[in-house]
């Protein structure tokens, strides 16, 4: 009886051990399966997460790129607007200066006079200096040697009508007064010396520095038109006043030149030429 009871206890213990072992094995298999599943699928999960992050980054990059393009378009529009405003400023500034100048003045100083004994021709060295209303010099003085004692100043007053104004962008009623050339009585006018040079802006119409693109157009067009009767007729220039008054000059004397758009050119005496003070000994 006791033996049987012992056997039953052993059987119960054995069964419990088996059950425990089975539970351990099954649990181990479950944990191992879960670990194996996660391990197996970890790479795929990471790949999906990376793909999602990449897609999000691409969306954000495209949005930023679109924003940059929009800013570039705005900058381009602003640049064009600024350039247009700058051209308009240049046009108004140039037109204002053109309108203000209907009177030009200059001093002609007779530096020297000599006579060529072989030909009997008097050679007169002069200095031509344009001045403003206060007598201050404008631009650089020009020196010439003319043939003869009688000095001629050739000038132009040109008045453009509305058709030229519209095509060349010069304001209405603008007149240009120009010193064309200077020569002596022993020279042909065509052999005289240019004062306001073709294609260049006279100093009185500028403020120093290089000409703007607008001014290049004005003066380039002007000289082409002013020298062509056909173009004058085509563009309807109202008037071109050309005249060349003269005066007999003497060494050491100065002469004042006045050119008005309304009154033409005049020459008057202006005293003696200033003699430079010699340096101290």
**Average pLDDT score over residue span 229-235:** 74
The residue among 58 and 11 whose pLDDT is bigger is 58
pLDDT at 233: 75
**Average pLDDT score over residue span 237-251:** 85
pLDDT at 33: 57
pLDDT at 130: 93
SS3 (DSSP) at 71: helix
What burial letters (b/e) apply to 94-131, b meaning 16+ CB within 10 Å?
A: bbeebeeebebbbbbbbeeeeeeeeeeebbbebebbbb
| Banded pLDDT at 117 (limits 50, 70, 90) | confident
Q: Say yes or no to pLDDT of 198 above 70.
A: yes
Q: Say yes or no to pLDDT of 219 above 70.
A: yes
DSSP 8-state assignment for residue 116 = E
Distance CA 266, CA 257 (A): 6
**Which tens digit of pLDDT belongs to each residue from 152-173?**
999 887 776 655 555 555 544 5
Q: How far is CA 281 from CA 87, 102, 238, 274, in A?
A: 56, 47, 61, 21
pLDDT at 66: 85
pLDDT at 38: 57
**Average pLDDT score over residue span 179-199:** 90
| Closest by Cα among 274, 278, 266 to 127 | 274
| Banded pLDDT at 71 (limits 50, 70, 90) | confident
The average confidence (pLDDT) of the chain is: 77
| Banded pLDDT at 278 (limits 50, 70, 90) | very low
Number of other CB atoms surrounding residue 222 within 10 Å: 20
Q: Say yes or no to pLDDT of 112 above 90.
A: yes
Q: Say yes or no to pLDDT of 147 above 60.
A: yes
| Banded pLDDT at 82 (limits 50, 70, 90) | confident
SS3 (DSSP) at 281: coil
Distance CA 177, CA 182 (A): 15
| Banded pLDDT at 210 (limits 50, 70, 90) | confident
Three-state secondary structure string covering 129-192: EEECCCCCECCCCEEEEEECCEEEEEEEEEECCHHHHHHHCCCCCCEEEEEEEEEECCCCHHHC
Q: Say yes or no to pLDDT of 129 above 90.
A: yes
The residue among 2 and 219 whose pLDDT is bigger is 219
Contact 256, 272 (CB under 8 A): no
pLDDT at 171: 47
pLDDT at 186: 94
Q: Say yes or no to pLDDT of 239 above 60.
A: yes
pLDDT at 114: 95
Contact 240, 158 (CB under 8 A): yes
pLDDT at 100: 60
**Which tens digit of pLDDT belongs to each residue from 35-62?**
555 565 667 777 777 778 788 888 888 8
Distance CA 214, CA 169 (A): 9
């Amino acid at each position: 009886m006791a033996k049987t009871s012992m056997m039953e206890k052993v059987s119960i213990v054995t069964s419990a051990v088996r059950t425990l072992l089975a539970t351990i094995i099954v649990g181990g298999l479950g944990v191992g399966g879960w670990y194996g599943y996660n391990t197996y699928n970890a790479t795929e999960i990471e790949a999906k997460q990376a793909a999602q992050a990449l897609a999000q980054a691409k969306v954000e990059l495209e949005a930023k790129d679109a924003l940059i393009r929009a800013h570039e378009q705005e900058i381009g529009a602003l640049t064009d607007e600024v350039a247009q405003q700058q051209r308009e400023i240049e046009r108004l500034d140039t037109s204002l200066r053109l309108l203000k100048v209907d009177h030009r003045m200059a001093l002609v100083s007779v530096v020297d006079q000599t006579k060529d004994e072989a030909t009997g021709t008097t050679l007169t060295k002069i200095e031509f200096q344009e001045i403003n209303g206060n007598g201050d010099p404008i631009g650089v003085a020009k020196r010439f040697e003319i043939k003869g004692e009688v000095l001629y100043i050739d000038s132009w007053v040109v008045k453009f009508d509305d058709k030229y104004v519209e095509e060349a962008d010069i304001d209405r009623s603008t007149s240009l007064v120009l010193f064309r050339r200077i020569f002596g009585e022993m020279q042909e006018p065509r052999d005289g010396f240019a004062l306001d040079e073709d294609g260049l802006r006279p100093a009185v119409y500028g403020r120093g520095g290089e000409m703007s693109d607008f001014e290049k157009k004005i003066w380039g067009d002007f000289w082409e038109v002013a020298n062509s009767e056909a173009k004058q007729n085509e563009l309807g220039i109202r008037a071109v006043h050309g005249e060349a008054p003269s005066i007999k000059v003497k060494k050491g004397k100065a002469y004042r030149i006045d050119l008005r758009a309304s009154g033409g050119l005049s020459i008057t005496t202006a005293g003696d030429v200033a003699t430079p003070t010699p340096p101290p000994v």
